[in-house]
Every structure is written in C-alpha cells, then in structure tokens.
Amino acid sequence: MPFDVLIQQICNGLVLGCVYALVSIGYTITYGIIRLINFAHNSIFMLSMYFAIVFVTMLALPWWLGFIIVIALTAIMGVLTEKLAYHRLRNRGAPTSTIKIAALGVSYLIDNVVIVIFSGRPKQFPTVDLLTDVFEIGPVRLQRTAIIVPLVVLVLLVGLTYFLNHTKPGLAMRAVSRDMEAARLMGIDVDKTIAFSFAIGSGLAAIGAILWGQRYTSVIPTVGSMPGMKSFIAAVIGGIGNIDGAVIGGMLIGMIEVMVVAFFPGLSSYRDVFSFCLLLIVLLIKPTGIIGEKVADKA
Amino acid sequence: MNVLETRHVTMRFGGLTAVDDLNIVIEEGEIVSLIGPNGAGKTTCFNVITGIYQPTEGEVFFYGEKLNGKRPDQVASIGISRTFQNIRLFKTMTVLENVLCATHFNRHSGLFSNILHLPNALKEEGLNRDKALKILDEVGLAQYADWKATSLPYGLQRRLEIARALVSEPKLLLLDEPAAGMNPKESDELADFIFEIKDKFHITVFLIEHHMKLVMKISDRIYVTQYGKTIAMGTPEEIRNNPLVIQAYLGEEG
Amino acid sequence: MEKKNNAIFQRILENRNKVLTIVFLALIMVIVGNLKPWFGSYWVRVFNTCCIYSMVTMSMNLVNGCTGIFTMGSPGFMCIGAYTTAILTLTPEVKDAVYYLSPIAPWLRELNTSFPVALLLGGLFAAIAAFIIGFPVLRLSGDYLSIATMAFSEIARVIMLNAQSITNGPIGITKIKNHVTVWVAFMALVSVYVLLRLLMRSTYGRALKAVRDDPVAAEAIGIPLFRTKMTSFIISGFIAGIAGGLLASLVGTIDANQFVYSYVNQFLLMMILGGNGSMTGSILGSFVITTALEVFRFMDEPIDFGFWKYPGIGGMRMVLFSISLMLIVLFWEHGIMGSNEFSWDRIIERVKKLVSSIRGLFKRKEEQA
C-alpha cells in the first residue's frame, strides 16, 4: 500500500473512531448511572441530523448558530426521553427488562415520527466548507475533518474529564453512578443528575452526528442505526460504564473497520460485521470490557 | 468416616482475606456449628464448600471426594444441600413445586418423554410428587402444598427451604443462620426440628448461627472464627469456658 | 330415564373443563375452516402471519419470560430457518432462474426436499446455531447476554447477505412456493403451544422457572444453570427457525435485510403485551398487534370527515402503533395475561364474579325502587 494512501486511511480510521467515541460516551454514561442500555440513543443521533437539516438547510441559519441550536435541542430531547419514559418506570421499581423494552419503544417512536415528517427519502446534510475542504501535505491529500474532528473530540474529552473530576455536577454524576442510594442520602439530587447525564450524552451524540454528516452526507431515518450500533459495541468493548473505555473502544472499532477494508478489499462487504465479531470475542475473553470493572448484577 | 473435611482453605477477594486457613472436620451423624461475629467469613465458608466460590488455596473433601472445581449443582447432586441466610425460595411457584424442583437433577426420564408426558416420565413425576408431599408432611407443611411459597409466614418459609434441601436425600445439610429473625419460642422449636430431621433422615448437620442458646443446645462441636481465622474448636462446654472465645465473641455481647 | 340423564349431566360437570375445551376447539376449527369464505383471502393471510408471529413470540417467551434470560437473537434464527426452507423447497430449474446474477453452488442446486422436511431441517439448523452460539453467550450475564445475542443475529444476517452462491446475496430468494394454508399455520401454532405448555408443566419447565426465579438457589438444589439455559435456548431457536421457514413460504420472497436486528422489537412488544412468561399471552399479544397493524392501515389513507379532510399520511399508523406500545409498556407492564396461562377455572371464576356484580347492581336498584 502506498504511503499516502496509508496516511489517508489512518486519518479515515481516526475520524470514524472519534465519532464512535463521542456517541459511545452517551451509552456508557447512561449505563454507568442507571444500568440501562439506552437503545434510543441511535435514534437521538439520527434525530439530531434531521434537526441540522431543519435549522441549517431549511431555515438557512448561519451554520455555527444552527449547530449550537441542534446540540441544545438534542440534549433536551435526551432529557425528555428520560423524563417521559424511563423515569416513571424506574420510580415504580419496574424490572430492568421492562425499562430496556421501553427504550426500544422510544427508539421505535422517534424513528416513525421522523419517517412521517421527513419521509424515507434521503436528504442532504448541510456540510460546512470550512470543515470539508481538502488540503495537501506533500503527496497526501486530506480533508480538513481529518485534523478538525480529532481536535474537537480531544477538546471535548478534556472538558468532560475536567467536568467529571472538578465540578460539582460532575462529581454528583460520579457519585450517583457509584451508589445511587448513598448519593441520595448525601443530599444529591439524583433525578436532576440523571437528567443531566442524559443531556450530556445526547449533546455529545449531536456533535458526533454533525461530524458524521460532514463525511456521510446522505441522511435517511435509519441513518443512526449502524453508527449507533457500533458506538454501542464500542462502549461494551471498552467496558461499559467507563468513559475512557468508550473512547478506546470507539477508536479501536473505527480503526479496525477502516484498516481491515483497506488491507483486505475483498472483505469490504463484511465491514459491518467486524465490530460484531470483535464484540463477541471481547465478551468471551473479558466480559466486562477492556478496562471495565465488574459491575455486580445485584442478586 | 469424615463427612466433610476442609484442608487449609483460604479465600481471598482482592486484598481481603475472608477465610484464612480453615481446617474443619465433620464426622458422620454430628451436628457442628460455625460461629463468629458478623463478617467473620462464615457464609463465605459455606459458599466455598458448595462450589459458589473456588477457594484461593486449600482443598475441600466430602467423604474423601475432592470438591474443588465442582459447580454448585454438582456439589448438590453428590449429597450436600444447603439453605440460605436470606431465604431463597422460588417466588412464582407453590410450596409443592418448590420442593419438586429439588428432585430435578435426580431424574431418569429425558427431555422428550417429559415434554410428551410419556408413561415413564409420568410415573417418575408421580413418585417425586409423593416424596415431596411426604417431606412436606414431615415438616408440617402438608396443608400448605398449594400455597404460593412467598405467602407462607416467615418461620414456615424457613421450614420449606429445609424441606426443599431434604427432598434430594442429602448426606450433609448446611444451614445458614436458620434461626435468624426467630423469637425464643420459635428457635426452641427449630432446635427440636433439627434434632428430628437429623434422626429421621440420617444426615449430618453443619450450621452457621448467631443464636448462642440454640448453638449450645444442639451442637456436638463448635468452631469459632474471627476475621476469617479459626480461633477455637470444641464441645459447647469447652467453648463456653474458652477465654479467647469469651473475649472475641461472647464478651462483645456482654 | 331421568336418573340416567342426571348421571350423564353429572359426568359432564365432572369433566367440565375437558368438555369446554372440546367445544372451544371445535368452534375455533369451524372459524379457521371458514376463514376464507367468511373473511376473504386478505384476512386469511393476516391470520397466517399472526400464527407465525405467535410462534416466534412464544419461542422468545420461553427464553425471556420463562427462563429469565433476555435474549434478542430471534431474527437470526428466523433468518436461518427461512433460508433453509427457501433453498430446499425450490426445484433446481427454479433455482437457475432465481440465481440469475451468479449461479447457485452446484451441490445446493440439486438439493430439493418436500416442504415439511425443509421446515424441520430449518428448525434443526437454527437449533444447531443456538447450540453453537449458546456456549459463549449463555455464560454471560444480564445485559451482556442481550448484546451478544443481538450481535449474533447481525452476524448471521450479514453472512447471509454476502454468501452469494448460497443465499443469492442482496437480491434475496424469490418464487418460493406457498405451502402455508390456514390449516398448516393453525396446526403449527397449536402444536407449538401444546408442546410448550406440556414442557412448562414438566420437571424441565420447573427447572427453567427455578433458574429464572433464583439462579443461586436453583444451582444449590442441583439444577445446572448452563445446561438448563441451553435447553431453553435450543428449543427456542428450533421454534424460531420453523417460524422463519413458514414465513419464507408464506411471503414467497426473502432477503436477509428483512431479518435486521431491530426486527426483534416487534416480538418483544408482542410478548410484553401478552404477558411475560405466559404462552397464551404471547398468542394473544401477537394476534392483537398484528391485526391492529392491519387495521391501522386506514391511517395512511385519506379520510373525509365532512368538516375536515384528513390527507392520509404515509407511516402514520406506525406512529400511532409505537405510541400505543409505549403506553402499554409504561402503564400496563403486566400485559393481558400477566404470567398466567389459559385456564377454564379462572375464566369461569371471572364470569361468576362479573355475573354476581351485575346482579348486585340490579338488587341495589330494586332496593332503591
């Protein structure tokens, strides 16, 4: 493989991995806090892409303003799903399988509403030239996203780490994920903290969706299912409940997906299966994920 | 013949040593108690014997057969039954069904004859049902056979759990705090009940208990543990007068 | 004479439940037999679909409801069953026509069996798949297990999608002959229902429930967790495989994308609506939801209310459907049956209660008058 293509592929893998990482943080945070695999997260991802189409393409807002609104709205949607669906069931002490099914139901509902409003036909995602222009370093031609996406993700991760370790709401989130009842007794507003974690997870998913849209511009109502699924797998592979794990898992899946196809073009039609196989392998060897700690299934 | 023997059994969880060099020998027909303050590793000891945990070090023998590496269901099927500290009944099932579950591993009819209710399966089911009813009768639960297990009063739930453990005709019965939550009268009855089943079913009993009066009354021998270590062993009389025990355990209770 | 009549009456009373069952079955058979003349072939097709979906839902209920392990692999098993049945029932000549883009593997071309054999083989392959993936997957716990079964389902789908010379790749298989008459679907449903009910009443069924209720206690009384879960998983895979085969034959064309992992949602919802752990509930849930989806079709068509013309929005029925399902999950989580099974005693008790409460109502009125 020529050197310039290799560099290009590494950058592709990096960008893909970064998006997966952002989305998988959403899965991991909600799992860490309320032990729920939020099956609706991929629908939230998809929804934010349609928000972007509405605000940037249809309403023709400046892209930066539009994207900020999209991120905020998506965060609100995340909180709404928690408040309207999961919160009620949790308070009633419903079994986790019921809450899991509620999550599936929410996902189903969002998908169907989007289909009714926007139809199933593909729509064009509003790309931003500033992000997608191509530049050259020697013989290597790269899209700007190859630099910008990792930078954005790096900044967000540093911010998130700071937030979790040094701010009051961040510490409250960590406390709730450690022991919800103890946190409640210590005077932490658990419901608010859970809502907050959904807001952060959904906001990050929106950023991930915007970055994803710069590369894959065709938007259909099922657009979230594959990136969502893979991010989810990334979260599990890294050790669900663990943010560092989600990032590592996301990067790993993005890289493997791009690299296997790059080195073995014959396998390209199987590209969606790599991550699933990796998932099965990791679950077999170390069910708690690469850096996951054992989360006791409370008997 | 030694029914149960643990040799240098040690169980560590990370940095915590829950059981430290445990050496217990139980002979046929004995009632042996394991006592010690909370967190002394008593239940962990049961969990090691029954295969829920594999010991970090040491070996467990049952009638000379090594138990290390066996799963809980395998341990149960060679003749060790147990009850749990916090009663574990099958909550969607009736009293009779709870007992019947414990006859499952001993079946001779296969899956297909059971699904199709072939004569051999039906016959076996009938025999097991009779056996379960007989046990229920012996522990005084016969009239509750069709009740939901969880609708029984607490004391009877304990009895049901013991009945479930007995139906498979074990050789060794492990009781984890059978008197927990009982008033003095109930625990007196429990003592009689334990004597009774020991004679009726020819079993050896090994129990964990906090209730000193009960322990002193029924035990042939007593092991005392503290922080995972065995600090004394002997007859109730010896234990009562052992200064170490008085200091470590009885002393605390005043 | 009167004495003799009394004796007969007595015997009927003694065997009340048996008699009721026979009458009920006869009634159902009459309805099923006359489905086409009474309701038309459209509803016959809906009925057949209901029967097949009921089988899938029951197979899921066996694992999720009765054994308490939350699996999501049904689409994968259905996919295996569907392809097996489809490939085995096509004659070599038809296969040549169907695999027009690239030819079928020669050894497969000649393979041709009758429908029942193909169906059973489909179930068998699905059961073997369940056995193989059960080894790693069933050792996992809780959420990890659900995820892993979902992963299996996706892997099965993508392999089917790409194994061009076997499955005809993304084009899918067409021209599958429809063997699924009303009676085939109905008998398949009844036999699965009866077998599962018998299973749940046997010592094996108790073992499954014991594992669900309290795995630690189950193990402590000698029930091997892994083997018990495996038994349930394999039976479930077998049934889902057969249902997949029936579906392939009913629909006439299959392609792997039909069996995408989210396909499982609909069966989960049928299971929840019917009642987790109740086979009778699974059938009711499947029939209610499948029929409702058909009835909701009017939502997609324009309606003239006189004062307002509803334009007919494509996909509206799915929105309505998902909303009603959310409401069920949120407010009616025990579903129609709870974990109870069908029993005449319970129904009669209900009716008696109803009658006496109605009587009470009348009495009060009389007293007031």
Top-confidence residue, A117 or A295: A117
> Looking at the complex, does the CB of residue A100 fall below 8 Å from at least one CB of chain C?
yes
- The answer as to whether A237 is a domain residue is no
CB atoms within 10 A of CB A265: 8
Strands of chain B, DSSP E = 2-13, 16-27, 31-35, 57-62, 65-66, 80-82, 172-176, 204-208, 221-226, 229-234
Query: Taking 80 as the threshold, does the pLDDT of residue A55 lie above it?
Result: yes
Per-residue model confidence (pLDDT) at position B250: 54
B5 in the same domain as B53: yes
End-to-end distance of chain A based on CA atoms, in angstroms? Answer: 53
Check CB contact under 8 Å for C154 and A273. Answer: yes
Q: Answer for the pair C160, C152: CB distance below 8 angstroms, yes or no.
A: no
Average pLDDT, whole number, for chain A?
A: 87
Q: What number of residues does chain A have?
A: 299
Per-residue model confidence (pLDDT) at position B37: 81
What is the phi/psi pair of residue B229, to 5°? Answer: -100, 140
Which structural domain, as residue segments, surrounds residue A198?
Answer: 15-223
Spell out the alpha helix ranges (H) of chain C: 2-14, 16-33, 35-39, 41-60, 74-89, 92-98, 106-109, 115-137, 142-162, 164-167, 182-201, 203-213, 215-220, 225-251, 264-274, 279-295, 316-331, 344-368
Spell out which residues of chain A touch residue C158, defining contact as CB-CB under 8 Å.
270, 272-273, 276
Per-residue model confidence (pLDDT) at position B157: 92
Which structural domain, as residue segments, surrounds residue B47?
Answer: 1-79+170-254
Residue C277: pLDDT band (50, 70, 90) is confident
Nearest to C322 among A31, A108, A233 (CB): A108
- The answer as to whether C325 is a domain residue is no
State the best of C191, C203, C212, C234 to mutate against chain B, taking most chain B CBs within 10 Å: C203
Query: Nearest residue on chain C to B76, judged by CA atoms?
Result: C222
Check CB contact under 8 Å for B76 and C216. Answer: no
Structurally, how many domains does chain C consist of? 1
Query: Nearest residue on chain C to B88, judged by CA atoms?
Result: C217
Which structural domain, as residue segments, surrounds residue C127?
Answer: 34-270
Maximum average pLDDT range among A170-184, B14-28, C243-257 = C243-257
Q: What is the mean pLDDT of residues B200-206?
A: 92
Which chain B residues touch C if contact means CB-CB below 8 Å?
Answer: 50, 52, 71-74, 76-77, 81-82, 84, 88-93, 97, 100-107, 111, 114-117, 121, 124-125, 128, 164-165, 168
- What is the C-alpha separation between C254 and C86, in angstroms, rounded? 8
- The answer as to whether A204 is a domain residue is yes
CB atoms within 10 A of CB B76: 26
Check CB contact under 8 Å for B71 and C224. Answer: yes
Distance set, CA B88 to CA A11, A14, B74, B215, C5 (Å): 55, 51, 19, 23, 53
Report the gap between the CA of C75 and the closest CA in chain A (Å). 15
B66 in the same domain as B49: yes
> Looking at the complex, does the CB of residue C218 fall below 8 Å from at least one CB of chain B?
yes
Q: Give the CATH number of the domain where residue B206 resides.
A: 3.40.50.300
> Looking at the complex, does the CB of residue A46 fall below 8 Å from at least one CB of chain C?
no
- The answer as to whether A6 is a domain residue is no
Report the gap between the CA of A214 and the closest CA in chain C (Å). 27
- Cβ-based contacts under 8 A for chains B and C: 99
Q: What is the 3-state secondary structure (H, E, C) of A264-299?
A: CHHHHHHHHHHHHHHHHHHHHHCCCCCCCCCCCCCC
Per-residue model confidence (pLDDT) at position A293: 59
Per-residue model confidence (pLDDT) at position B251: 54
Q: What is the mean pLDDT of residues A268-274?
A: 81
Distance set, CA C208 to CA A12, C61, C220, C224 (Å): 48, 12, 14, 10
Per-residue model confidence (pLDDT) at position A96: 78
Nearest to C148 among A89, A225, A283 (CB): A283
Residue B222: pLDDT band (50, 70, 90) is very high
Nearest to C154 among A89, A119, A276 (CB): A276
Query: Nearest residue on chain C to A269, judged by CA atoms?
Result: C162
* Helix C16-33 with C2-14: angle, nearest 10 deg: 80
Check CB contact under 8 Å for C221 and B101. Answer: yes
B94 in the same domain as B45: no
Nearest to C199 among B97, B104, B115 (CB): B115
Query: Taking 70 as the threshold, does the pLDDT of residue B49 lie above it?
Result: yes
Single-letter amino acid code for the residue at C12: I
Query: Nearest residue on chain C to B149, judged by CA atoms?
Result: C213
- pLDDT tens, position by position, C192-209: 999 999 999 999 999 999
> Looking at the complex, does the CB of residue C102 fall below 8 Å from at least one CB of chain A?
no
Residue B67: pLDDT band (50, 70, 90) is very high
Spell out which residues of chain B touch residue C217, defining contact as CB-CB under 8 Å.
84, 88-90
- The answer as to whether A190 is a domain residue is yes
- The answer as to whether C102 is a domain residue is yes
Structure tokens at C299: 């939502």
B189 in the same domain as B147: no
- pLDDT tens, position by position, A202-237: 999 999 999 999 888 899 988 888 888 899 889 988
Q: What is the mean pLDDT of residues B137-158?
A: 91
Could you say which of B168, B194, B226 is where a domain stops? B168
B183 in the same domain as B145: no
Strands of A126-172, DSSP E = 134-137, 140-143
- The answer as to whether A97 is a domain residue is yes
> Looking at the complex, does the CB of residue C296 fall below 8 Å from at least one CB of chain A?
no
Per-residue model confidence (pLDDT) at position C323: 86
> Looking at the complex, does the CB of residue C171 fall below 8 Å from at least one CB of chain A?
no
Query: Taking 70 as the threshold, does the pLDDT of residue A297 lie above it?
Result: no
Average pLDDT, whole number, for chain C?
A: 88
ipTM associated with this complex: 0.90
Per-residue model confidence (pLDDT) at position C100: 85
- The answer as to whether A296 is a domain residue is no
| pTM check: above 0.90 | no
The percent of residues in chain B predicted with pLDDT above 90, rounded, is: 56
- What is the C-alpha separation between A209 and A20, in angstroms, rounded? 10
> Looking at the complex, does the CB of residue A139 fall below 8 Å from at least one CB of chain C?
no
Report the gap between the CA of A285 and the closest CA in chain C (Å). 10
- pLDDT tens, position by position, C294-333: 888 777 777 777 777 777 777 788 888 788 888 888 887 7
Could you say which of B107, B141, B168 is where a domain stops? B168
CB atoms within 10 A of CB C197: 17
- Alpha-carbon radius of gyration of chain C: 24
Spell out which residues of chain C touch residue B119, defining contact as CB-CB under 8 Å.
none
Which of residues 39 through 98 in chain C touch B, CB cutoff 8 A?
Answer: none
For A145-159, A204-218, C74-88, C306-320, which range has the lowest pLDDT when averaged over its residues?
Answer: C306-320
Structure tokens at C250: 């009913």
Across the strands, what pairs with B173? B81, B205
- C341: which DSSP letter? P
- The answer as to whether B84 is a domain residue is no
Check CB contact under 8 Å for A297 and C316. Answer: no
For A72-81, A144-153, C10-19, C68-77, which range has the lowest pLDDT when averaged over its residues?
Answer: C10-19
- What is the C-alpha separation between A72 and A49, in angstroms, rounded? 13
Per-residue model confidence (pLDDT) at position A288: 76
Check CB contact under 8 Å for A104 and C70. Answer: no
Per-residue model confidence (pLDDT) at position C320: 83
Q: Answer for the pair A113, C317: CB distance below 8 angstroms, yes or no.
A: no
- The answer as to whether A39 is a domain residue is yes
Which of residues 204 through 263 in chain A touch C, CB cutoff 8 A?
Answer: 225, 229, 232-233, 236, 240
Spell out which residues of chain C touch residue B124, defining contact as CB-CB under 8 Å.
203
Per-residue model confidence (pLDDT) at position B173: 94
Residue with tokens 């489909």: C122
- CA-closest candidate to residue B2, choices B46, B61, B48, B49: B61
Query: Taking 90 as the threshold, does the pLDDT of residue C150 lie above it?
Result: no
- The answer as to whether B137 is a domain residue is yes
